């Protein structure tokens, strides 16, 4: 078998292993730590009998391993359990919200990725000149402000003072794509700002790293046009690091979504998660945590696979 | 001594100012933390330079008290994450072998879950108090410090002067504290600045989500949450903490950059 | 006038330096250098690091690396002033009229593209030839340069061929567009000596056959003497001496050139045999953890007290591993090491403090061998307190004595390594080793990273210290000239085994085994015609076999 395939297969296996370990960790983190779910649900005034009944009903008296295996078995069959607070089926409730979240994240990514790569190239091209300095100052500013504050700044200026965009990102069934996009314009903008800085800075570093290499100098000394130097020599070697940068930042975007959804009261998974953390609805928290972890691990996996596949030393072994 | 670049000077002045405010909040703040002194959302005036908040408390005083909480929690969590992360990172680098494998793989695992999500999961079952917050944030973040400390220490450990010390017969203690540590310190201190910023953002985010510092105790993230409704009425009270957090983060960043630039270049980040 | 290909007049080159933690400052790299090169001739540019030779080489294509600016004078190629050419004009001549061969071909090739693609690229970009013609020409060049499988080697990727082969492919790449001028920038420096001679011969033959003119940049006068018609000696960005190759190497006019010519000519009288061995290595075999083969097999050598054993070999021969085994960093799997009449424990942990004290080590890279956060006084003083309990004023006095011994004055004790020159750093490392009052110092390539003149100074110092202190050296090196300068006994290593071992006079006299013969015959000698003789001998021998 080709060594690249072996490496990729190994990396995928590692990803699956990580996801499994993450599920153990999430389960352990929410189940074994002090604090009693039954007590939390019923409050301090609950009678001992009611508490005991609820504990039995939730399976809290089973040993942790049994509870974990039951839970994992259910997850593998697509059954995420039922919410403690309202008895809803979690998988069903999550389905639509997951769609909304992915829609928001995708909108932000579609804007942020080309913009960040473009600006990163610009900064690398005009290194240490004013475009680079403007971009790096902007980067410093955006990574220093938490996303919820970016959100309120955007609402304050763009929707309250100038009334350009809606302040609440309300979406519902039956909206057209255009209406949906308009509804998520502000949260998407905030998410773009959140990831743009990092993505730009890392793209710039990746490009500069390649542009400073000896083989780019060789290409320049061949008298090639700047475009040919970049397209034929720099670009093929810069793809992997840049894809890596993009994936890592998309993974970050997934986390940023949680907060932004709360700010804009957007009916996505992040808001659902935060709501149920306050209500101490453990099954919902576990399900959401697992999905977030899966997306995060998956994006990191893609980044690593791209690095493996694009490495000429691995693709063409001696 | 070399002359201080202006950016570093600005950073140092602002960082110092904020820490001064946090330490002496009791002396500086014109009013008490939870003292109601006026109507809700009064505009800026001589009596209340930043106006009042959603239930009529003096916003400037809230900000100063809030700064104390935010900076205290962030500092404590940074110290915890730093001590734990760098000690374990050094141990992993110097001992190598099985210890290194075990620690490194465990850290990989923790980092495979975004730290905000992990924190939320833990906070869904634990009581949300300041010590718990410090513990959760510090422990989760120590993974990043671990990776950096280990990488830096590994870089130094392979140097010939460390080998020379081993050949001389020096004890492990001398090697860690006299040979490795002095050479690993400046990237670590710069990283400490970045970790501190991350902690400020982290605790503010948690408080904003209602899962951090609980009212009536003030902190910057909480002030945003308390005044968020004002935004749609055109009251900018919720944006005041934005300014505070951003300036604190930027000034600490400038100081960290300055420390880092004096030596090698290492990447740091806010991470997930 | 017509056959003047390249004329450089009063060239001045400046650059901006960015020292860490300090404001940027301007430095002058080249201060008014002039030279002329006629068509079909080879000019050697020679000098130590910082002489500006590579900068001038690139400037003859009007190219400056980042931050480097051509600020004065003129560069004329084929009669055109390159400093007045627009960017498009420069592009039109780079890769067509003038091409470049870099020191590290491994870095200079794009790792993601096949060799052929890169070799013909310049010819195609400038419309010199069609792809078919260019590829045919490349294959011919591959053959001429002695590359294996010239028809198909172009299909490989850079990492799929060896360093010596890659350097030859790079030469083919430079010759493919049939330029008027090729700039060779230290093309053989990174290669082992037995590979260097092959590449050097290939380059020389290619230059002769194609009639191209060349600038040949190197720090090694013996190498450049083989290929150049004229030589320009550079120092600190200024021209020192220009002349015909024969004149430069036989009758140099300037003091500095004389020093360069006489470098590596230290002669050292071999000490008599019969002294008790201070170190005795018997049948040592070693391998690194996790690998399945022995890096050292059955190595046995003796080192008499107060003498020097040179361990010589090419990269991968196991010579540095031998040092690691003797110091105990890599415990031997088999065999014994006796030191000063006692058996040494194989592992570092099992050795006494006296064992450690009496075997000291000096490294190739003095930069990484000293803790950058410690002053010279601390670096030399630590063994004094560690082994002898010296403190305070007594320790400081002793450090100063040691500094005097290594010919460094009183101003150095409170300086940091970063404030020292390369030669001074290595001297401080020597002083640190001496501070322990050792009976054996292991010197691992201690002069290879230094410029030749500085290296000579360090070698002389080591010889003097040996005479004064009676310390023995185990001297690891790949450089035969260094061996001649310092050794009493020699062990030639090849693929983890001792190929030849004995007193210097015996090892360096015939009859030789094949490998030692090849090694010795590959060391460039500073006379014209050496390369041809060496190649002729090789041909005869391989014909004889």
A214 has a chain C CB within 8 A of its CB: yes
Is residue B217 scored above 60 in pLDDT? Answer: yes
The dihedral region occupied by C32, where left means phi > 0, alpha psi between -120 and 50, and beta the remainder, is: left
DSSP-derived secondary structure letter, B5 = P
Report the sign of the C-alpha dihedral through residues B157, B159, B163, B168, in that order: negative
For the segment C274-292, what is each residue's pLDDT rounded down to a tens digit?
Answer: 778 899 999 999 988 877 7
Mean pLDDT of C426-445: 94
Query: Is residue A125 scored above 90 in pLDDT?
Result: no
Nearest CA to CA, how far is B161 from chain C (Å)?
Answer: 4
Between the CA of residue C221 and those of A158, C66, C82, C254, C399, what are the distances in Å? 72, 29, 29, 15, 38
- Beta-bridge partner residues of C476: C311, C444
Residue in C373, C416, C425, C428 to test binding to B, most B beta-carbons within 10 Å = C373
Task: Of A4-8, A244-248, B263-267, C193-197, give the lowest mean pLDDT range.
Answer: B263-267
Question: How far apart, in Å, are the Cα atoms of A11 and each of A78, A90, B138, C157?
Answer: 25, 31, 30, 25
- Give me the pLDDT at residue B1, please: 43
- The 10 Å Cβ neighbour count of residue A1 is 6
Of the pLDDT bands very low, low, confident and very high (cuts 50, 70, 90), residue B154 is confident
8-state DSSP, C19: -
Question: Of all residues in chain B, what percent are helix, strand and coil, respectively (each to 5)?
Answer: 70, 0, 25
pLDDT mean over C336-348 = 91
From the list B124, B232, B267, the residue facing A160 with the nearest CB is B232
Q: What is the mean pLDDT of residues B139-157?
A: 89
CATH node for A90-281: 1.10.3720.10
**How far is Cα C491 from Cα C95, in angstroms, rounded to an integer?**
46
d(CA C431, CA A4): 51
Q: Which of C95, C159, C160 sits opposite A223 (nearest CB)?
A: C95
Residue A83 has pLDDT above 80, yes or no: no
**Lowest-pLDDT range of A17-21, A76-80, C175-179, C196-200:** A76-80
**Strands across the sheet containing C25-38:** C25-38, C4-17, C68-77, C80-81
Helix axes of A3-31 and B97-111: crossing angle, nearest 10 degrees: 70
Enumerate neighbours of A (3 or more CB pairs within 8 A): B, C
Q: How far is B109 from chain A (nearest CA, A)?
A: 6
Q: pLDDT (tens digit, 9 = 90+) per residue, B231-252?
A: 777 777 778 888 888 888 888 8
- State which H helix or E strand residue A277 sits in: helix A269-278
% pLDDT > 90, chain A: 5
Residue C19: the pLDDT is 63
C216 touching chain B per CB within 8 A? no
| CB contact at 8 A, B164 and C356 | no
| Residue A155 binned pLDDT confidence (cut-offs 50, 70, 90) | confident
How far, in Å, CA of B262 to CA of C258, rounded? Answer: 42
Query: Is B236–A296 a contact, with Cβ atoms under 8 angstroms apart?
Result: no
pLDDT of the residue at A36: 63
B100 and chain C in contact, CB less than 8 A: no
Contact call for B160 and C353, based on CB within 8 A:
no
Which among B70, B108, B121 is the top mutation candidate for probing chain A, defined by the most A β-carbons within 10 Å of its own β-carbon?
B121
Q: Is the pLDDT of residue B2 over 60?
A: no
**Omega before C511 within 30 of 0, i.e. cis:** yes
Average pLDDT over residues A142-166: 77
Question: Which structure tokens are listed for A260?
Answer: 């932004």
Which residue among A213, A223, A224 places its CB closest to the CB of C107?
Answer: A213
pLDDT for res A40: 63
Angle, CA of B190, B191 and B193, to the nearest 5°: 70
Q: To the nearest whole angstrom, how far is the Cα of B152 from the nearest Cα of chain C?
A: 15
DSSP one-letter string for C398-458: HHHHHHHHTT--GGGTT--GGGS-HHHHHHHHHHHHHHT--SEEEEESTTTTS-HHHHHHH
> Does B108 sit behind a cis peptide bond, omega within 30 degrees of 0 on the bond before it?
no
Indicate the pLDDT class of residue C1, thresholds 50, 70 and 90: very low
pLDDT of residue C232: 95
Query: Would you state the pLDDT for residue C436?
Result: 93
CA C354 vs CA C279, C322, C437, C471: distances in Å:
15, 21, 10, 15
| C 441-470 residues with CB < 8 A to B | none
pLDDT of residue B100: 87
CA C19 to chain centre: 26
Question: Is pLDDT of B201 > 50?
Answer: yes
CB contact under 8 A, C368 and B160: yes
Q: With both helix axes pointing from N to C terminus, report the angle between C514-521 and C193-210 in degrees, rounded to the nearest 10.
A: 50
- What percentage of chain B exceeds 70 in pLDDT? 94
Question: For chain C, what percent of residues have pLDDT higher than 90?
Answer: 53
pLDDT tens, residue by residue, A224-246: 988 888 888 888 888 888 888 88
Instruction: Return the number of CB contacts < 8 Å for A and C.
Output: 78
Place of tokens 């992997």: A240
Percent of chain C at pLDDT > 70 equals 98
- Side-chain-side CA neighbours of B212 within 13 Å: the count stands at 29
Confidence category of residue B255, pLDDT binned at 50, 70, 90: confident
- For residues C187-209, give the mean pLDDT: 87
| pLDDT at res. C68 | 87
Say what the ipTM of the complex is: 0.82
CB-based contact, A282 to chain B, within 8 Å: yes
Q: What are phi and psi of A7, to 5 degrees?
A: -65, -45
CB contacts of C360 in chain B (<8 Å) are 167
Chains that touch B (3 or more CB pairs under 8 A): A, C
Q: Which residue has the higher pLDDT, A92 or B80?
A: B80
Contact at CB, A35 and B126, closer than 8 angstroms: yes
Nearest CA in chain C to A217: C108
Residue C379's pLDDT band (cuts 50, 70, 90): very high
A140 pLDDT more than 70: yes
Q: Which residues of B touch C369 (CB under 8 A)?
A: 159-161, 164
* Contact status, residue A146 vs residue B222, Cβ threshold 8 Å: no
In terms of phi and psi (left: phi > 0; alpha: psi -120 to 50; beta: otherwise), the region of C195 is: alpha
- The pLDDT confidence band at residue C380, using thresholds 50, 70 and 90, is very high
pLDDT at site A35: 55
pLDDT at C20 over 70: no
Q: What is the pLDDT of residue C133?
A: 94
DSSP tag of A121: H
Quickly state the pLDDT bin for B271 (edges 50, 70, 90).
Answer: very low
Q: What pLDDT sits at residue A141?
A: 77
> For residue B34, how many other CB atoms are within 10 A of its CB?
14
Chain A residues touching residue C94 (CB < 8 angstroms):
220-223
Instruction: State the Cα–Cα distance between residues C35 and C319, nearest whole angstrom.
Output: 43
Core vs surface per residue C107-139: b (16+ CB within 10 A) or e: ebbbbbbbbbbbbbbbbbbbebbeeeebbebbb
Pair B213, B60: CB distance under 8 Å: no
- Mean pLDDT, all residues of chain A: 81
State which residue of chain A sits closest to C123, comparing Cα positions.
Answer: A222
Chain B residues with beta carbon closer than 8 angstroms to that of C474: none
Instruction: Answer whether residue A287 shows pLDDT above 70.
Output: yes
Higher pLDDT, C464 or A68: C464
Chain B hits for A170, CB-CB cut-off 8 Å, are: none
Domains and CATH numbers, chain C: 4-261 (3.40.50.300), 277-371+437-509 (3.40.50.300)
CA distances to A8, A235, A243, A306, A313 from A309, in Å: 8, 15, 12, 5, 10
Contact B169 C369 (CB under 8 A): no
Q: State whether C112 and A221 contact (CB < 8 Å).
A: no
Predicted confidence (pLDDT) per residue in A256-272, tens digit: 888 888 888 888 888 88
Q: How many whole angstroms separate alpha carbon C78 and alpha carbon B128?
A: 79
Q: Show residues of chain A in contact with B238, CB under 8 Å.
A: 152
Strand order in the sheet with C181-185: C98-101, C181-185, C213-218, C42-46, C230-235, C238-244
List b or e across A157-184, with b for residues whose CB sees 16 or more CB atoms inside 10 angstroms.
ebbbeeeebbbebebeeeeeeeebeebb
Give residue C544's pLDDT. 61
Residue A84, pLDDT > 90, answer no
Is a pLDDT exceeding 60 seen at residue C171? yes
Q: What's the whole-number mean pLDDT along residues B179-188?
A: 84
Task: Tell me how many degrees the CA angle A108-A112-A114 measures, rounded to the nearest 5.
Answer: 130
Count of Cβ atoms closer than 10 Å to residue A140 Cβ:
17
Interface residue A280 vs chain B (CB under 8 A): yes
User: Contact at 8 Å (CB) between B80 and B57?
Assistant: no
The reported pTM is 0.80
Contacts of C387 (CB under 8 A, 6+ apart): C353, C357, C436, C437
Residue B264 has pLDDT above 50, yes or no: no
- Cα dist from C230 to C233, C242, C245, whole Å: 10, 7, 5
Q: pLDDT tens, A50-64?
A: 777 777 776 667 777
The pLDDT assigned to A58 comes to 67
> Rounded to an integer, what distance in angstroms lies between the CA atom of residue B253 and that of residue A272?
34
In this structure, how many other beta carbons lie within 10 angstroms of the beta carbon of residue A318?
Answer: 8
Indicate whether B3 pLDDT > 70.
Answer: no
């Amino acid at each position: 078998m080709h060594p690249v395939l072996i490496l990729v297969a190994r990396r995928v296996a590692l990803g699956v292993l990580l996801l499994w370990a993450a599920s153990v960790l999430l389960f352990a983190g929410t189940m074994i730590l002090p604090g009693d779910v039954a007590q939390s649900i019923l409050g301090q005034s609950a009678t001992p009998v009611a508490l005991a009944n609820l504990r039995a009903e939730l399976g809290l008296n089973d040993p942790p391993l049994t509870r974990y295996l039951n839970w994992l078995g259910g997850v593998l069959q697509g059954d995420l359990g039922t919410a403690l607070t309202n008895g809803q089926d979690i998988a069903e409730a999550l389905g639509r919200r997951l769609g909304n979240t992915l829609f928001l994240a995708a909108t932000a990514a579609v804007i942020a990725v080309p913009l960040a790569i473009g600006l990163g190239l610009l900064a690398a091209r005009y290194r240490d000149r004013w475009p680079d300095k403007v971009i790096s100052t902007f980067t410093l500013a955006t990574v220093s402000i938490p996303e919820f504050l970016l959100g309120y700044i955007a609402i304050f200026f763009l929707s309250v003072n100038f009334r350009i965009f809606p302040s609440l990102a309300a979406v519902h069934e039956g909206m057209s794509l255009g209406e949906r996009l308009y509804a998520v314009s502000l949260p998407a903008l905030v998410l773009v700002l959140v990831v743009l800085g990092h993505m730009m800075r890392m793209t710039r570093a990746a490009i500069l790293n390649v542009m400073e290499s000896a083989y780019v100098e060789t290409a320049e000394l061949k008298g090639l046009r700047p475009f040919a130097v970049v397209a034929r020599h720099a670009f093929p070697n810069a793809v992997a690091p840049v894809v890596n940068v993009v994936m890592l930042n998309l993974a970050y975007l997934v986390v940023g979504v949680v907060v932004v959804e709360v700010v804009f009261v957007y009916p996505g998974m992040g808001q659902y998660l935060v709501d149920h953390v306050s209500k101490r609805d453990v099954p919902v928290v576990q399900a959401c945590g697992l999905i977030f972890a899966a997306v995060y691990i998956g994006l990191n996996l893609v980044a690593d696979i791209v690095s493996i596949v694009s490495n000429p030393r691995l693709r063409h072994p001696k | 001594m070399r002359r201080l670049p202006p950016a570093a000077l600005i950073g140092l002045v602002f960082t110092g100012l904020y820490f001064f405010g946090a330490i002496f909040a009791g002396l500086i703040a014109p009013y008490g933390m939870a003292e109601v002194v006026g109507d809700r959302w009064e505009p800026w005036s001589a009596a209340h330079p930043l106006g009042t908040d959603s239930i009529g408390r003096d916003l400037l005083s809230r900000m100063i008290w809030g700064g104390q909480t935010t900076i205290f929690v962030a500092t404590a969590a940074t110290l915890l994450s730093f001590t734990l992360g760098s000690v374990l990172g050094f141990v992993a680098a110097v001992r190598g072998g099985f210890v290194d494998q075990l620690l490194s793989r465990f850290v990989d695992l923790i980092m495979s879950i975004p730290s905000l999500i992990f924190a939320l999961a833990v906070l869904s079952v634990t009581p949300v108090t300041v010590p718990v917050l410090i513990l959760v944030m510090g422990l989760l973040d120590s993974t990043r410090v671990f990776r950096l400390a280990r990488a830096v220490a590994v870089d130094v450990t392979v140097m010939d002067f460390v080998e020379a010390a081993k050949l001389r017969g020096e004890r492990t203690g001398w090697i860690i504290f006299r040979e490795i540590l002095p050479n690993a310190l400046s990237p670590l201190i710069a990283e400490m600045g970045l970790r501190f910023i991350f902690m400020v953002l982290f605790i503010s985010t948690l408080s904003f989500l209602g899962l951090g510092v609980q009212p009536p105790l003030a902190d910057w993230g909480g002030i945003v949450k308390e005044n968020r409704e004002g935004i749609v009425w055109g009251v900018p009270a919720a944006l005041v903490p934005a300014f505070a957090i951003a300036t604190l983060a930027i000034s600490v960043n400038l100081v960290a950059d300055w420390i880092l630039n004096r030596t090698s270049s290492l990447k740091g980040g806010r991470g997930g | 006038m017509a056959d003047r290909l390249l004329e450089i007049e009063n060239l001045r080159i400046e650059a901006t330096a960015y020292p860490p933690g300090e404001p940027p400052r301007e430095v002058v790299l080249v201060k008014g250098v002039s030279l002329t090169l006629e068509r079909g001739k080879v000019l050697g540019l020679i000098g130590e690091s910082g002489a500006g030779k590579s900068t001038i080489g690139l400037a003859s294509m009007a190219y400056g690396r980042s931050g480097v600016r051509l600020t004065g004078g003129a560069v004329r190629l084929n009669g055109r002033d390159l400093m007045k050419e627009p960017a498009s004009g420069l592009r039109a001549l780079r890769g067509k009229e003038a091409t470049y061969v870099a020191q590290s071909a491994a870095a200079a090739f794009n790792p993601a593209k096949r060799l052929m693609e890169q070799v013909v690229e310049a010819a195609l970009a400038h419309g010199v030839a069609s792809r078919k013609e260019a590829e045919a020409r490349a294959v011919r060049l591959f053959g001429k340069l002695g590359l294996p499988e010239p028809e198909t080697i172009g299909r490989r990727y850079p990492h799929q061929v060896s360093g010596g082969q890659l350097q030859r492919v790079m030469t083919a790449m430079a010759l493919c567009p049939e330029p008027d001028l090729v700039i060779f920038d230290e093309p053989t420096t990174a290669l082992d000596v037995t590979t260097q001679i092959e590449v050097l011969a290939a380059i020389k033959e290619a230059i002769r056959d194609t009639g191209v003119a060349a600038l040949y940049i190197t720090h090694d006068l013996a190498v450049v003497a083989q290929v150049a018609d004229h030589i320009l000696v550079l120092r600190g960005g200024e021209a020192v001496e220009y002349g015909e190759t024969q004149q430069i190497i036989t009758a140099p006019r300037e003091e500095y050139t004389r020093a360069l010519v006489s470098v590596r000519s230290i002669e050292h009288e071999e000490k008599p045999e019969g002294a008790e061995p201070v170190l005795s290595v018997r049948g040592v075999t070693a391998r690194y953890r996790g690998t399945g083969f022995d890096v050292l097999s059955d190595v046995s050598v003796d080192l008499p007290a107060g003498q020097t054993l040179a361990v010589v070999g090419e990269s991968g021969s196991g010579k540095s591993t031998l040092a690691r085994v003797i110091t105990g960093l890599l415990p031997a799997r088999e065999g014994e090491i006796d030191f000063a009449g006692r058996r040494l424990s194989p592992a570092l942990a099992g050795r006494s403090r006296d064992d450690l004290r009496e075997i000291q080590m000096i490294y190739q890279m003095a930069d990484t061998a000293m803790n950058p956060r410690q002053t010279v006084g601390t670096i030399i003083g630590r063994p004094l307190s560690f082994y002898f309990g010296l403190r305070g004023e007594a320790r400081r006095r002793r450090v100063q004595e040691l500094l005097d011994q290594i010919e460094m004055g009183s101003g150095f004790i409170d300086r940091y390594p970063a404030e020292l020159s390369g030669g001074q750093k290595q001297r401080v490392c020597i002083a640190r080793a001496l501070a322990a009052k050792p009976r054996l110092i292991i010197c691992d390539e201690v002069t290879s990273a230094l410029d030749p003149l500085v290296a000579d100074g360090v070698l002389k110092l080591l010889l003097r210290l040996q005479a004064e202190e009676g310390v023995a050296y185990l001297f690891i090196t790949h450089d035969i000239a260094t061996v001649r300068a310092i050794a009493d006994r020699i062990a030639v290593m090849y693929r983890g085994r001792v190929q030849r071992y004995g007193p210097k006079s015996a090892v360096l006299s015939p009859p030789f085994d094949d490998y030692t013969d090849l090694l010795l015959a590959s060391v460039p000698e500073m006379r014209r015609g050496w390369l041809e003789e060496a190649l002729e001998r090789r041909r005869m021998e391989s014909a004889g076999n």
